[in-house]
Structure 1
């Protein structure tokens, strides 16, 4: 019970933090015209490239994403964001043997734990961002499917 509450709290903090980052980026670029990938920061390009990689290399199609309606994608994003927030010492001592108590709570229970593959702090945050995009896109598709035509 406590673990579940803690996992949901961390998930909310992750979404709030990403929301602030997105609002900051939008405010900073409000008057700029973003027509090409060259206009994006290296971080933005990395997140978009990771999202494309998840689709093309991993085979996680939009149809597949649409089957995950219980927050699994967002929870996996939260796990990667949490892993990316850890200092090098914590990363060395938390991974890979123990998988980490909190990450165990965040990772979707219906997903195999071997699918969680932390890398560097930056790569984990990039994966988190790409997974958030995937879930937001899934939500948008579900909303437009329900909208009257």
Structure 2
């Protein structure tokens, strides 16, 4: 497994065990919220700062926006974990239908 994939897996585990964002919780996010949050973290900081991107596209209350501007890797790991959560949500949804 690559280091990037490993970091994303560790972050996703942290999100579920420490934050409580379980698969059951993720099922509530049906409007591409997880994808939009991932896009916000994946957007380069210079572009986020130069526009109103975060305020326009962050899907939840601003208190949940936790950028890590001093670590691009950390922000991309957060984005990857959110994408993984969305993929899992979609696969689970397909399996229920």
What are structure 1's unaligned runs of at least 5 residues?
1-39, 95-99
Pairwise CA distance, 1:106: 1.8
Pairwise CA distance, 1:114: 1.3
Deviation digits for residues 10-47 of structure 1 (CA, Å, limit 9, x no counterpart): xxxxxxxxxxxxxxxxxxxxxxxxxxxxxx11111000
Residue of structure 1 equivalent to 2:35: 74
| Number of residue pairs the alignment of both structures matches | 95
| Cα distance in structure 1, aligned partners of 2:24 and 2:54 | 26
Aligned 1:1-149 pairs, distance under 5 A: 40-82=1-43, 85-86=44-45, 90=46, 94=49, 101-108=52-59, 111-119=60-68, 120-146=71-97
CA RMSD after TM alignment: 1.8
What are structure 2's unaligned runs of at least 5 residues?
none
Q: TM-score, normalised by structure 2?
A: 0.90
Deviating runs (4+, > 2 A) in structure 1? none
Q: Secondary structure at the match of 1:68?
A: coil
